[in-house]
Structure formats: C-alpha cells, structure tokens
Structure 1
Amino acid sequence: MPAFLSSVSAWWLLAVAGLLEIVWAMTMKASDGFSKPLLSGITLVAAWASFWLLGLSLKQLPVGTAYAVWTGIGAVGAAILGMIIFHEPATLARIGCIALIVGGILGLKLLH
C-alpha cells in the first residue's frame, strides 16, 4: 500500500470518483449525443478522472465493495439530478428504489 493511501483516504477518493461519475453522466446527457464540444469534453475528462480515482481507491479497498459504492453514488446522483434537471419522472417507486441503493451503499461502507 502506498504510504499516502490509508483506508480513510481511499474512501474519500472513491466518494470523489462517484461524484465525478455523476458529472460525466449528466454532461453526457446534456451533450446531446456528443454534439456539443464543451459538454463532450467535460464528459470525457470527468469520466477519465472518475476511473482514475476509482483505480487508486482499489489499491486499498475490495473491488466488489468499491465498484458497488462507485456505481451506486453515480446511479443515485444521476437519477436525482435527472429528475431535477431533465424533468424525468419522480415516482414513488423510483424514489423507493433510489433509497434502496443508498441503503446498500451505506451497508457496504459500514460492513467494510
């Protein structure tokens, strides 16, 4: 393990990687099929940074836990922002499913 990477810092890296996953998902949607250069560029940079930080966190965290948390953060954030920004449906069932994902993320973090 690199000296700079403790378990706590690995979790922080993973959290930032998950937030960047939200950024690239939202800017990909907003880029309108990569037809808007600025948004397309943000998408690609955010995706690269997200993968890079995920990779760094994997030096310390189990792959199954880290990957599930990373995708969970991205899925929850993209779903919530999709409802707010893109006016996607905000049904009770959809919100309930998002809550289940959040519960799974918290469970994986607490059980690590």
Structure 2
Amino acid sequence: MSAATAWLMLLLAGVLDVLWALAMKQAQGYTRLGWTLTSLLLLAAFVWLLGKSLSVLPVGTAYAVWTGIGAVGTVLAGALLFGESLGAARLGGIALVLAGIVVLKLAPG
C-alpha cells in the first residue's frame, strides 16, 4: 500500500471515529439496540482502517493524527448537533490540535 493510501485510510478512520462517538451518544448507554449496533460497526471499521494504515505509517504519528481528527471532529459535531459550547478556549484548543496534526503530517519520518 502506498503512503497516500495509508493517509487516506487514516483520515477515514478519524471520520469514522467521530461518527462512532455520535452513535455512542445516541445509544444512550447501550439501551438503544440500533444505535448500539451502529456504534459497534463503526468501531470495528475505524479500528480496521487504523490498523491497515499502521502497516505503512509510523505508529506515533498515525495514532496522534487519528486521535486529533477524532477529538476535533467530535467537539465540532457536538457543538453543531447538540448545542455544546464552543467558546474561545475550545476554539483555541482545536486550533492547537489542528496545528499539531499538520506538523506531524509534514515532519520527516
């Protein structure tokens, strides 16, 4: 697999991580079967994609980028879908995480 394909799989794993978190919220502590099954399928999918990307990418970089995508995406989705606060400090935190992802992506090795 090429590095470009691995990065694409990693990006998709991050997006699925966000969707998984949203499905977990909707599952309401695993009390709603449909959302529970959806969350488990999303979990399996993002773990598989992450694992495949790790066959090419450095584990430290890939894991940090994946968690950053998940964290930023989930904060933004929570604000958009559930009215969670998105003040200056949270926006600053998002900016720092995004900056870290860019640095990790561009760093050699």
Identify the TM-score tier after normalising by the shorter chain.
over 0.9
Name the residue aligned to 1:79: 75
Q: Which runs of 5+ in 1 are unaligned?
A: none
Count of matched residue positions in the alignment of Structure 1 and Structure 2: 108
5 Å-filtered alignment, 1:1-112, equals 5-112=1-108
Q: 1:34-72 CA distances to partner (integer Å, 9 max, x unpaired)?
A: 111111111100011101100000000000000000000
Distance 2:21 2:82 in 1: 12
Aligned amino acid, residue 40 of structure 1: T
Aligned amino acid, residue 82 of structure 1: G
The TM-score, its normalising length taken from structure 2, stands at 0.96
The TM-score, its normalising length taken from structure 1, stands at 0.93
Give, in angstroms, the shift of residue 111 of structure 1. 1.1
In angstroms, what is the RMSD of aligned CA positions? Answer: 0.8
Name the % identity: 47
Displacement over 2 Å in runs of 4+: none
Q: Which runs of 5+ in 2 are unaligned?
A: none
Aligned amino acid, residue 38 of structure 2: I
Distance 2:102 2:42 in 1: 24
